[in-house]
Chains A and B, each alone.
Chain A
């Protein structure tokens, strides 16, 4: 399978705090990779390093064999291909729902307004938000916001979508609607890295699961391996916490 992103010995310090202590991950085309682990284990930081929202302290990240940390690498083009969906949605407050999904297409991908509008409506329909295209984003519920954020990412025709705890800021009854959208994407073959605390979802959707603990990958395997027969003691403890 084609390798899209390859992370090698990635380290990140914030001051004296070692958040990532050497992480290696390879993401293949069409793969759904979920990262689980307790808070502070470095999951989100790892994802943010991949999108270069954090600059790694050391290590390498390759995108189709190109070093994204090298001087002169076209970061903006890379980010237009690898989009992030945030825990707090981060929809643009100055734009309505439709324009949130259009502006990246017209400004970054230089699509015409008509084409961008068509693509935006197609994706908003897909996430079930077509009826809200003229709504202000501040008027939406959390689940609706996150679905718009997903439509915004999809409108860029990304090669990879990075989900940073997409349901952690949601009320419980809204988690399902967002997870369903992500599952649909998975079944369509979208390549994704998902940081999540939803264990049942992770079990269902993942091709591969990584359990992170204290800045390193403690265990890695298929969903079946990790959830049904974890080898690492820390993984077992962590998962036991969710069953209780």
Chain B
């Protein structure tokens, strides 16, 4: 089979509405997944980075240990299994309990999945922050939480911004796995179109191009924000936390 470019173009034009719907859903899932994934990652990564200290009381030690075990298991399971499996498994597992539709389930799944990757990114960001930053904060009388929120996390997020941004690009592509939940993202829509016109090569060529455009836009936007972050981090941040 050969690639017929003019056929591809006409498929794109004729099915523009369907492609557009797919693109919008893909963007929605990628952004929601990345933003909520980051929030989950901040919590889990924060818990993972908490050290158990000699001076802690027994109950605190036990709580910290439980936190560590929980986050480790969470990351182990969600990073170690395909998101496709997670999607169908959790959708059906919880369907009778929470009565969710597939679209909602998809949003939860992609966020939870991204959260596992983000947790590792945040944890390594926290741990790569100079210990002197923590000591200086403590020496001024900051509590652990204050140190984490005002001093460590802003630096950890800034340092790991490239990895965090990379998750957005991953999510643009990996949201395609949610087709198993019949979510009408770009890949699902492409399948529908190809299924009705039988021009598989041309249709998937168009969807590949569309994915490339989406990831390129994300890449350019992330670069822009990264540069901005490096220029103005100093003044911007303080407005937020003072």
Which of B67-75, B83-91, B107-115, B129-137 lies at the binding interface?
B129-137
Query: Among A24-32, A103-111, A183-191, A196-204, which stretch is in contact with chain B?
Result: A103-111
Is there a chain B Cβ closer than 8 Å to A90's Cβ? yes
Nearest-neighbour CB distance to chain B for A67, whole angstroms, equals 13
- Contact residue range for chain B? 20 to 34
> Known: A83-B139, A96-B235. Contact between A106 and B132, CB under 8 A?
no
Provided the pairs A79-B140, A94-B158, A94-B234 are in contact, do residues A102 and B242 lie with their beta carbons within 8 angstroms? yes
Q: Which residues in chain B, 100-135, are within 8 Å of chain A measured between CB atoms?
A: 130, 132-133, 135
A68-111: which residues lie under 8 A (CB-CB) from chain B? 71, 76-81, 83-84, 86, 88-96, 99, 102-104, 106-109
CA distance A113 to B240 in the complex (A): 13
| A10, chain B: closest CB distance, angstroms | 16
Give the docked Cα–Cα distance between A106 and B238 (Å): 12
A90 to chain B, nearest CB (A): 4
Q: Is the CB of B234 within 8 A of A104?
A: no
B141 touches A80 (CB 8 A): yes
Q: Select A76's contact among B55, B143, B237, beta carbons within 8 Å.
A: B143
> Measured between C-beta atoms, what is the minimum distance from B147 to chain A in Å?
10
What 13 new A-B contacts, CB under 8 Å, besides A93-B133, A96-B234? A55-B54, A71-B57, A88-B132, A90-B133, A95-B238, A96-B238, A99-B234, A102-B242, A103-B150, A107-B146, A107-B150, A108-B141, A152-B140
Judge whether B242 and A113 touch: CB under 8 Å: yes
* Shortest distance between the CB of A2 and any CB in chain B (Å): 22
The reply to whether B140 and A94 contact each other, CB–CB distance below 8 Å, is no
> Across chains A and B, which 4 residue pairs bring their CB atoms closest together, nearest first?
A80-B141, A90-B136, A90-B132, A104-B140
Residue in B130, B139, B233 whose Cβ sees the most chain A Cβ within 10 Å: B139
Question: A156 within 8 Å of B by Cβ?
Answer: yes
Q: A53-B138, A80-B140 are in contact. Are A95 and B237 (CB under 8 A)?
A: yes
- 5 A-B residue pairings within 8 Å (CB atoms): A51-B139, A104-B142, A108-B140, A108-B141, A149-B136
Q: How far is the CB of A48 from chain B (nearest CB, A)?
A: 8
The answer on a CB contact under 8 Å between B234 and A95 is: yes
A136 interface residue, CB < 8 Å from B? yes
- Given A94-B154, A95-B237, A107-B150; A79-B135 close (CB under 8 Å): no
- Asked whether any CB of chain A lies closer than 8 Å to the CB of B191, the reply is no
CA distance A199 to B201 in the complex (A): 80
Give every chain A residue within 8 A of B132 (Cβ-Cβ): 86, 88-90
Kindly state the separation between the CA atoms of A191 and B178 in the bound complex, as whole angstroms. 65
Task: Tally A-B pairs: CB < 8 A.
Answer: 89
Q: B241: CB under 8 A from chain A?
A: yes
Candidates B54, B140, B155; contact of A156 at CB < 8 Å: B140
**Which A residues, 101 to 141, have Cβ-Cβ distances below 8 Å to chain B?**
102-104, 106-109, 113, 134, 136
Contact pick for B155, options A83, A86, A93, A108, CB 8 Å: A93
**Which residues of A have CB within 8 Å of B136?**
84, 86, 90-92, 149
Contacts of A107 in B (CB 8 A): 142, 146, 150
**Which residues of chain B come closer than 8 Å to A108, judged between CB atoms?**
140-142, 146
When distances are taken between beta carbons in the complex, the residues of chain A under 8 Å from B53 are 55
Q: Is there contact, CB below 8 Å, between B242 and A106?
A: yes
B151 at the interface (CB under 8 A from A): yes
Q: Which residue of B lies closest to A48 (CB)?
A: B135
- Cα separation A90 to B142 with both chains bound (whole Å): 14
Residues of chain A in range 11-69 having any CB-CB distance to chain B below 8 Å: 51, 53, 55
Q: What chain B residues lie within 8 Å of A152 (beta carbons)?
A: 140
Quote the shortest CB–CB distance from B77 to chain A (angstroms): 33
A79-B234 contact given A55-B54, A94-B151, A107-B146, CB 8 Å threshold: no
Assembled-state Cα–Cα distance A136/B234 (Å) = 7
A121 to chain B, nearest CB (A): 15
Q: Which residue of B lies closest to A138 (CB)?
A: B234
* Least Cβ–Cβ distance between A112 and chain B, in angstroms: 10
